[in-house]
Chains A and B, each alone.
Chain A
Amino acid sequence: MESVNINNLNKIFDHRIRVGIMSALSVNDFLSFNDLKDLLQLTDGNLASHLKNLEENEYILVKKGFIGRKTNTTYSITKKGSQAFQKHLEALEKIIRQLK
């Protein structure tokens, strides 16, 4: 029997908002701040702090741009982020299999 290693779970993905951001970015080339806000139904400040955290961990890439005069910031997943998220998912799956 495989042993469950809780350490394989990524601490950064403990939080449902960060999980939400990573899931959405893992299946889209890029998403804007507003896309993420609509998807996760969050306030600006709340979303921004979690995006900052992911950015500091180099899991996501931030690109600032403009649409006319309005800022349009888009986010995409980095290679490091996608690998970390994949690993986290695999760890979750293993735990679920053990629970059954």
Chain B
Amino acid sequence: MNQELSPLESIQEIKSYMQKSTRFLSLSGWSGIWVGSCGIISGLFAMYLINDSDINPLNYHYYGVGYQTESFYSLKEVLRFKLLLVEIITFVVALAGGFFFSVKKARKDGVIFLNHVFRRMAINFSIPLVTGGFICLAFMRYNMLIFIAPTTLVFYGISLLMIARDTLDEVKKLAIFEILLGILSFYFLRYNMIIWIFGFGVLHIVYGIIMRNKYDRK
């Protein structure tokens, strides 16, 4: 290996090391498409579960004190359990697939996947996400299921924002869209599942396709 560098090579090398050591560029377009598809399927399934149960959680007036009858609560319990199950399965499947495609891309690019940037990203991403998770559990506990979809959107957006600095610039745009949709969803609770499916499903797929066309096809 030639150890002496021309000035131009030096500058280029310096730039590449600075970028490689601070940025995680292995987020694959396929990851976005995968996560988005999981989002759509899970969202539709959750909507089906909600419609299938005899109570209508989309109507938040049900949460008034007058409705706290025993039968209402037992129905709620079942729905709550089913929804929680769907959420956990979706989360695991989406995360595993997203991981898989990114590891594959990292291997193709010859980058070590679990580097210090990735570790920093994982921590920064988890803090808002776990916070949002606990808030959702609290909503569940108080039977305010209606607020869960908007909350997940907002906190997921904040999580993305936290890692935007360390990765592709487009992640920041995605993050802002997710947060805006979350806020919108808080005000239009009746449509919150539709907005959720749009945010987690459609947006991710669009993002994935854009990323694939921009970075992966080289």
Contact = CB atoms under 8 A, between A and B. Distances in A.
A39 B17 contact: yes
B14 A23 contact: yes
Interface residues of A, number: 24
A95 interface: yes
Given A19-B14, A35-B115, A39-B115, A96 B20 contact: no
Nearest to B15: A23
A24 to B, nearest CB: 4
A57 B81 CA distance: 63
B18 A24 contact: yes
B21 A24 contact: yes
B64 interface: no
Interface stretch (B4-12, B52-60, B140-148, B176-184): B4-12
Contacts of B8: 96, 99
Most chain A beta-carbon neighbours within 10 Å: one of B3, B8, B14, B15: B14
A13 B3 CA distance: 11
A16 B3 contact: yes
B26 to A, nearest CB: 13
A92 B11 contact: yes
A81 B7 CA distance: 19
A26 interface: yes
A31 B119 CA distance: 12
Contact of A19 (B10, B21, B115): B10
